[in-house]
Amino acid sequence: MKRIFLTNVRIVDGDGNPAIEDGCLVVSAPEKVEEDSSILYVGSKAECQLVPQPEEQVVDGTGYTLMPGMFNVHVHLRATSPRYQFKCDPYGTPYRTLIYLRHHMEALLKGVTCIRGCGDSHGIDVAIRKALGKKMLWGPRLVTCGKAILPHGGHANHQLGSLECSGEAQFMEAVRSQINDGVDQIKLFYSGGASDAAGANMFTAHITDEEGAAACKVAHMHHKKVAAHLSNDVAIQSAIRVGVDSLEHCYYMNDETVQMLVDNDRWLVPTLTVTDANHSDPAWLGAISPFVVQRLRDVHQIHVESIAKVIAKRGAEKICTGTDTLPTDLFDDTPATTYECEMLVEAGLTPLQALQAATGNSADLCEIADKTGRLKVGLSADILAIKGKPDQNIRDLRNLSMVMRDGRIVFSKLESYQQPLQFLPPEWLECDTMGTRVPW
Ligand SMILES: [Zn+2]
C-alpha cells in the first residue's frame, strides 16, 4: 500500500484539543478495493519520522486545516421531505431504494463521511449498510435505526414503514423485530413534533413511561442505544426516566429538564437546522405546509435557547450534529451539516467544540469511535481539508476543499493537488440539483 503525506497543514483532531499548527498527517492509501486505510501519523511536521518514497504522494496543504469527516446523526434518507398523506406510496420500494442511495452518496460531497439513519422504511437502510460493508457501493458510513417505532396515531404516523404500537408488549415486539432485522440502534417517536398537522398535541408525551421503559429494556438487553424524537419537557423528562440514550430535537426545555438531562448524562442531538425556516432553501420549504413553516418560525428561537441552556451547563459534552434534513439540503446557501455547526456556535459552543460535536462526539454516539471520527493513529482515514481555520471561525467550514473517505481522495481542490471527483459521477461535484431540490 502506498502512503499519502499531507504536510504544512493545521490539524484539528476531533477531540476538542487545540489545533496542531505546522502539522503533518500520513495515511495509507489503499490501491485495491478490499484494502482498508489507516492513519499512520498525526502531529507536528518537525517530529514526523516517516519519509516519503519517490512514488508516494506528498500534498502541500499550506493554508488548510485538516479535520475528521463530519457526521450527520439525524437524517432520513428516504424520498423527499413532503409528507405522504394517507400512507400512499407514490414511489414504490424499488424506486425509493434508489432515491435513498442517491441521497446517501451525495452526502459525501458535502463532507459527511458518516450518517446515522434515524428511522427509515422498508429495511432500506440496513440493506445499504450491508452493501457498503461489503464494498459493493461507495458512500458515507451508515449507522441504522430501521423503522421508527411510535404510538398509534403518534407523530409521523402517516409516514411509510413506521411501526405503530400500543402497550408494553407491542413496543417490546417492535424493538425485537428491528433488532432481528439487523439495526444498530432503535428510534422512538416519543411526542408530537413541529411538522405535525394543526391541532396536534406538542406538549405531552405520547408514549407512557411503561411503554418507553419496555422498549428501552429490550433494546438495552441487546446493547442497542435508543434515540427518541422529543419536543417538550414532559416527554423529555419521561424519556430520561425510562432510559432513552439519545434525546433528539428538544425544542422546549425548562431549567428542570435541562438539569435532569445533565444529571443523567444523556446524549443530545439538537437538529437546530430543521427549525430554522428563515434560512431554509425554498425547495425544502415548498414541500411543507404553510402552517408548519409558521410553526417552525415560531419555535426556532425557543429551540436555540433551550439548547443554549444545556451548553451553558455542560459545554460540548455529548452534543452531536444532526439536521433532520438531507445533508445536501441548503440553509443560508450552505449544506445542512455545515450549517448545523454554525447553529451550535450560535447556541454557545466554540467553533472548536462545534467541530468536536460533528466528529468525535458523534462517533461515540454511533459506537464507531474505534474506526473513525478522530484523527488518531490507527483509525480509518476519513478526512476533510478546509481552507482557513474553522476551529477559530466556524464560517470557514464552508470552504470544503478536499474529502478523503477511507484513504481514497473523493475530490481535492487544493492548489497543490487538484483532483476531479472520483468514485462518483464527476458532474455531481458542482451539481445544484440534489436532495429535496429534485422532485424524484
Ligand atoms: Zn427526524
Residue 209 CA to ligand 1 center (angstroms) comes to: 21
Residue 20 to residue 41: CA distance in whole angstroms: 13
Residue 242 CA to ligand 1 center (angstroms) comes to: 20
DSSP 280: B
Residue ranges of alpha helices (H) inside 108-166 are: 124-133
The angle at the Cα of 96, spanning 90 to 100, to the nearest 5 degrees, equals: 140
Q: What's the mean pLDDT in 367-387?
A: 98
Residue 274 CA to ligand 1 center (angstroms) comes to: 9
412-427, pLDDT tens digit by residue? 999 999 999 988 888 8
60-84, pLDDT tens digit by residue? 999 999 999 999 999 998 765 445 5
Q: What's the mean pLDDT in 130-142?
A: 94
263-308, pLDDT tens digit by residue? 999 999 999 999 999 999 887 787 778 888 889 999 999 999 999 9
Domain presence at residue 440: no
Same domain as 106, residue 15 = no
| pLDDT at residue number 184 | 98
Same domain as 395, residue 328 = no
Residue 66 CA to ligand 1 center (angstroms) comes to: 30
Of all residues in the chain, the percent with pLDDT exceeding 90 is: 81
The amino acid at residue 89 is: D
| pLDDT at residue number 195 | 79
Residue 439 CA to ligand 1 center (angstroms) comes to: 20
Residue 162 CA to ligand 1 center (angstroms) comes to: 12
Let me know: does 331 contact 229? Beta carbons within 8 Å. no
Looking at 365, 384, 410, which one is the last position of a domain? 365
Sequence-separated (6 or more) residues with CB below 8 Å from residue 160: 78, 84, 87, 89, 121, 122
CATH of the domain at 361: 3.20.20.140
Same domain as 349, residue 263 = yes
142-179, pLDDT tens digit by residue? 999 999 999 998 988 777 778 999 999 999 999 999 99
CATH of the domain at 414: 2.30.40.10
Same domain as 226, residue 161 = yes
Same domain as 360, residue 326 = yes
Domain presence at residue 191: yes
Domain count, the chain: 2
Beta-sheet pairing, 383-387 with 64-68: antiparallel
Residue 193 CA to ligand 1 center (angstroms) comes to: 9
Residue 59 CA to ligand 1 center (angstroms) comes to: 39
Looking at 365, 394, 412, which one is the last position of a domain? 365
Same domain as 347, residue 378 = no
For residue 440, pLDDT beyond 70: yes
Residue 373 to residue 79: CA distance in whole angstroms: 27
Domain presence at residue 422: yes
Same domain as 250, residue 302 = yes
Domain presence at residue 263: yes
Mean pLDDT, the chain, integer: 93
Residue 332 CA to ligand 1 center (angstroms) comes to: 20
Q: What's the mean pLDDT in 34-56?
A: 96
Q: Nearest CA to 166 among 129, 118, 206, 121?
A: 206
Same domain as 79, residue 55 = no
**Strand boundaries in 61-111, DSSP class E:** 64-68, 70-75
Q: How sure is the predictor about 200, in pLDDT bands with cuts at 50, 70 and 90?
A: confident
pTM for this prediction? 0.96
Domain presence at residue 439: no
Residue 198 CA to ligand 1 center (angstroms) comes to: 19
Domain presence at residue 388: yes
Same domain as 401, residue 323 = no
Residue 335 CA to ligand 1 center (angstroms) comes to: 17
Taking the CA of residue 248 as centre, how many other CA atoms within 13 Å lie in the half-sphere pointing to its CB? 27
Backbone angles phi, psi at 62, to 5 degrees: -55, 130
Same domain as 392, residue 413 = yes
Residue reference for cell 474553522: 390
| pLDDT at residue number 193 | 86
Domain presence at residue 337: yes
Domain presence at residue 14: yes
Same domain as 241, residue 230 = yes
| pLDDT at residue number 79 | 65
Same domain as 84, residue 48 = no
Domain that holds residue 63: 2-69+373-426
